[in-house]
Structure formats: C-alpha cells, structure tokens
Amino acid sequence: MKKLLIIDDERPILEMLEISLVSEGYDVFTAESGKAGLETFGKEKPKLVLTDIKMPGMDGIEVLKKIKEKDSEAEVIVITGHGDMDSAIAALRCGASDFLTKPIRDEALMLTLERAKQKISMAQQLKDYAENLEQTVEKRTRELRKAQEDLVKSERLATIGETVAGVAHYIKNILNGLRGGMYKVNSAMAKHKPEQMKDGWDMVQRNIEKVSQLVLDLLSYSKERSPEEKTCSPNQIVAEVVELLKQKADENSIKLNVLFDPNIKEADFDPKGIHDALLNLVSNAIDACIYDKNTSKSWEVTVKTGTETTDSGIEKILFEVSDNGCGMNPEIRSKVFTRFFSTKEGQGTGLGLLITQKIIQEHGGKITMVSQEGVGTTFLVLLDRKTLKKSKC
C-alpha cells in the first residue's frame, strides 16, 4: 500500500508532492500527463493515486474512470483549484476517494491519504471476512464528522457544522445496519452457509453506500451555485425521471401516471438540477405509497406538466407530483423542509427535500405542498419560463 502514483502536468507541484511523500515512506511514481499516468499505473499497479483534474489532453476525471475500470479497489484522490466544488463533486460521483484543493497543505495531504489507506484496508477486510469491520466503520464515521467540520467555509456549511448532531442519528442507523450485516456474515461462517453470507455482505454494502450518499448530499446542500441553464423540454425531463423510477413503482404495485401538456414550450433552466429535484419528489411520492399502511388502496403517483400565466402576463412552467399514499399530519408537514428531518426510519439523510427546495429557489422558482394524512400529498413547482437562447440540452 506504500506505492503511490502522482499525475500532474505542473512539474513544481509534482516535485513538491514527491519530496513530501517520499519523506513519509511512500514509494512514489510520477507522470506529467493522463496518458503517461495510465501507462505507469498499468505497470506499477499502485493502490493510491493523486491526480490533478485540470490537465491538457486527458483530464483527471477521465483518468479516474480508466483507473477504476482497471482496478476498482484503487483509491483515487483528485486535486482541484480552490473553490472548484463542481469538479470535486463530479469526481466523487465517479468514484473518487476524496479531493484536495490547491495550494495543498502537508497536513491535509497526509490526512487524506490516511483516509484512503483505511478505505483500502476496509475493502480488504471485507474480502477476508474480517471481524473488526465495526471498529473500522466507526473510525470512518469520526473522519466523516471531521471532514464535515473542515468544510465549514461558508455560512451554509457553518450551519451544517453547528447541527452535526442532526446527522448522528442517521449515522447510528448505518452502524446498526453494518452490525446486522456482520452478524449475518459471522453466523453464516459459523454454520458453513455461504448463501447466507452473501445476504450479510449485501447489507454491509448498502450501508456503506448510505455513507457515500450522506457526503454527496452534504456537499450538494452546502455549495452555493448558479443554475447552468440550457434550452430544454420540460416534458423530456419528466419522461427521463419517470423512466428511472418505473421499475421501483412496478416492484411495489404502484401505478405511475404521466400527464404531459402537449403544448408546453421549451424553456431555459438547469436540466440536471431540475432532473434531480423532480427525481427526489417522485421518489418520495413512491415511498409515501410504500409506507402507507392502508393496504386496501390502489396506489398511484401522478406527474403532470403544464403552464399558467400570472395576472401580470408572466408565463410559468408547472410541475406537479401527487400521490395517494400515507400523507402527512400537521407536525410532519411543518418539518418537511427542515435539515436532517426524515420519516423514512434511517433510510434517508433528511436533506433531500431541502436540496430540492434549494434547486428550485436557485432558479427563482417556488415549491409548495398540500398533504392530508391518510389521503396523500401533492407538490407543486412553478418556474418562470425564460428564453435566454442558451445551448440545447
């Protein structure tokens, strides 16, 4: 695990990192381009890789993807410019272990590498059916809290830092899930039942993914950004969301209806942002049906598109997501847009609707909700229809 590859097109940074890491006992290899880095990776097969994102030719994201194709267990840490959170989040979604911002401090570098090595160690322990997984995950949880504190650089992040206790319950549920998975694995090993062992490891994997989702949600909520607007079809965005969630609805005997306004025109908005917001609303609507205890219902989720014009002549795009699931009582309704609040008993981070609201507000739009316990819930999103002649989706 002491082998480490550094890829950066800036020779001074390469030399600085090499000196620091050699003095820490690492066996360091360097490359000044993505192509050369991949060649060195194929030859030396290091488990740790540091790569700059912004490089001529093959950039760091492409290097990350190709390394993960060659060795999914390799831990890749990306280097970004100060404040370039978009690239950092993109890298995390592609499987990066962590990220560092320039200028790189030795303390941050060593801490990040230690975290990456611990992830490698944990993956190896999973393969070897190690019995100490709980302690490893608890260390990762402490590191997650520490990493969250390090990210407190804006007012929004400061708020998250002050309310970190709100995440503690969710992390505790993850640890309980990991304990349950390890219990199944150990029990299956003792009884020589390999088929039950797989169930245990699947449970462990699901809870590790929850940790990753929590990190991504915290980054998405904390980052101030302006929508990257393109000319898009509202109906097309909804169609993509419905297609992604159709299987989930079918598996739970929920009818997923789509009512497109055929006359709706293209408009300028951030397609990824609106896609993510609608994906969360429709997924929540399906969950509301799944959690409904009234099994005599024929559950339905309906997604509508449309337009309306205000008295002042402003045309607005309308997205409506409704369900006939469990609905919400007044207490829950008052908390739906509150940080870290979830009714999914450990299944959600409690940031989904807050992120959705943030995306809509960044577009200058409005999101409202009507819900009645035992009857269902409707979310309504209104966006100004702008035509800024942006590039097409």
Tell me, what's the pLDDT at 75?
Answer: 92
Fold matches, 3-222 and 230-384: no
Q: What is the pLDDT at residue 253?
A: 92
Q: Are strands 98-101 and 75-80 parallel, antiparallel or unpaired?
A: parallel
CB 103 within 8 A of CB 79: no
Distance in angstroms (rounded) separating the CA atoms of residues 302 and 255: 8
- 3-state DSSP assignment of residue 259: strand
CA gap 301, 77 in Å, rounded: 41
Task: Read off the pLDDT of residues 57-113 as tens digits, 9 standing for 90 and up.
Answer: 899 999 999 999 999 889 999 998 867 788 888 888 998 989 998 888 889 999 999
User: Dihedral sign, CA of 285, 291, 294, 298?
Assistant: positive
Question: Which CATH superfamily includes the segment(s) 230-384?
Answer: Histidine kinase-like ATPase, C-terminal domain (3.30.565.10)
Residue 161 to residue 156: CA distance in whole angstroms: 9
pLDDT top residue among 185 and 295: 295
Res 50 pLDDT > 90: yes
Per residue in 267-305, pLDDT (tens digit) is 888 888 898 889 889 988 998 898 888 888 899 999 999
CA dist 306 and 221 (Å) reads 28
Q: What is the pLDDT of residue 32?
A: 94
CATH, domain 3-222, list 3.40.50.2300, 3.40.50.280, 3.30.300.30, 3.40.50.620: 3.40.50.2300
Structure letter (DSSP) for residue 201: H
Per domain, the residue ranges of the chain are 3-222, 230-384
Q: Which amino acid appears at position 318 of this protein?
A: L
What is the reported pTM? 0.48
Higher pLDDT, 352 or 258: 258
Q: Put residue 294 in one of left, alpha, beta given phi > 0 → left and psi -120 to 50 → alpha.
A: beta
pLDDT higher than 60, residue 319:
yes
Indicate the residue type of 166: G
Do 7 and 41 touch, CB atoms closer than 8 A? Answer: no
**pLDDT one-digit tens code per residue, 345-387:** 555 556 678 888 888 888 888 999 899 998 999 999 999 876 4
Confidence at residue 214, expressed as pLDDT on a 0 to 100 scale? 62
Higher pLDDT, 338 or 28: 28
Residue 284 in tokens: 């929540």
39 pLDDT more than 90: yes
Percent of the chain with pLDDT over 90: 37
